[in-house]
A and B are shown apart, each in its own frame.
Chain A
Amino acid sequence: MENAPHTSPNTPRAEQQFFDDPAMDRLMGTVMALAQEHYVLRDRVRALEGELARTKALNPAALDQEPTPEQRAETTADRSDFVEALLKPLLGQQEALGAPGRHSLKANV
């Protein structure tokens, strides 16, 4: 239960800005949230492996081994798909044909 009405206004205040471009400020927020989520998952996988190893459902040594050339080959396509999805936005190219560039509805632009 809340003890007392909060006296600060209910409408959110604008967040502080640190970078020259405010988009950077917001993007950093997204990146850090992802980084934290990533770490939480890492932690969970480690716990999961530990638990599986403890109950002998998994041989950790086998899991940690360098993948064989065959195993690597099997995952090549997945890897390049992943990298492409990650980096393709940097090219700034359209996926479906449409008007290019930046748009404005201001008069005389």
Chain B
Amino acid sequence: MDERAFAAGQDFLLAAKTFWTTTMYRELRDTAAVRAPQAETMAHVAEVLEKTVLYQSFAWLERHLQRMKYAGRYGLMPYHRERRAALLNTVSGDEAALELDPDLALPAYYTGVDIHQQPGGVWRDDIAALAYERGARSTTPMLGTAHKDLHDRFTDIAVEQGAPEKVLDMGCGFGKSTQPFAQRFPDASIEAVDLSAPCVSLAAHTTQKNQAKNVRFRQMDACATDYDDESFDLVTSTMVIHEMPPKTIDAMLDEAYRVLEPGGRMVHLDFYCLPDAFRQFIYYGHARRNNEPYMPLLAETDLADVLARKGFTDIEIAPFQEASGVDMDANDAWRFPWTVIAATKPAVV
């Protein structure tokens, strides 16, 4: 597949996804508002929408546009596979900031599902991170190039209590969530861990390109790191928790508590606050269609209670505006239920 055909094939999908995100979503929202104006439960919304051709088409497109994005004739995986050797050549150097662990056993929750419909997940193939990175540019069509903006906005919130000195980014992926910290706090020491070898490799490469010296990427389970107790004043994660089953979330939060200094802050960006039955219905459907089986389990977890029982204080769970100009109450276009989840390890226990 030549570059032009790949770009056109992907542009077509993005245009289709944009139509889906706006026109189709609005149609669906209006249909629900007319046919089930008082719907209080997801089941009630399901009753009126699931039998409509509109919803069936909406659901079909959600699943299959994503399938085509990764696996189709002009998909990200075939595109990257065709260029495997050349592409890997550009990213594999002696990355100083990289530490791989070939013996790391990947958990079953992680290997048992190809998350967000990327065949082989973000870890199985050497080119998985490159394909994922390329694909992330169009995950949320309404954001366009502002996707970077999202991580910057999150970073602003994460450091509200002052410039951090020692940061741990859990589930850093290809480093998009880590880079803003590395760049904005050159004097801080930043550690980033992820299960995926291709992801941390790409992250370390990008860091080298940016000439950041204050950050290290390590292939490691965020639930069982090798850091000493009380090693960080800030622990973060973005878009990680919803990819974990409840027991794993529990272990990750315990680990965050352990490695935080007393008084340290933990800030996560994820999907959580679902304001009404319609959006809950859409979100649960998304989880199933996009191969995100743990999303509903997180939505049903009482996070504030979980955090309080672990001893965290100053717990804040609040909707997050992912880009400037997004009207969070309008429900005018499909969007993730972005939420910031933050808590503090008390200074005096």
Residues in chain A within 8 A of chain B (CB atoms) = 1-4, 6-8, 16, 18-20, 25, 28-29, 32-33, 35-37, 39-40, 42-44, 47
Contacts and interface: CB of A to CB of B under 8 A. Distances in A.
Contacts of B114: 8
B60 A36 contact: no
27 contacts: A2-B120, A3-B124, A4-B106, A6-B111, A6-B124, A8-B111, A8-B112, A16-B289, A18-B57, A18-B60, A19-B53, A28-B64, A32-B16, A32-B64, A32-B65, A36-B13, A36-B72, A36-B74, A37-B73, A39-B8, A39-B11, A40-B9, A40-B74, A42-B8, A43-B4, A43-B8, A44-B8
A40 B125 contact: no
A65 B58 CA distance: 39
Contacts of A47: 4
A8 to B, nearest CB: 6
Given A18-B56, A28-B64, A7 B112 contact: yes
A44 to B, nearest CB: 7
Interface string B142-182: 00000000000000000000000000000000000000000
Contacts of A36: 9, 12-13, 68, 72-74
Nearest to B288: A16
Nearest to B196: A3
Given A3-B124, A39-B12, 4 more contacts: A2-B126, A28-B60, A33-B72, A36-B72
A60 B112 CA distance: 54
Contact of A6 (B12, B63, B120): B120
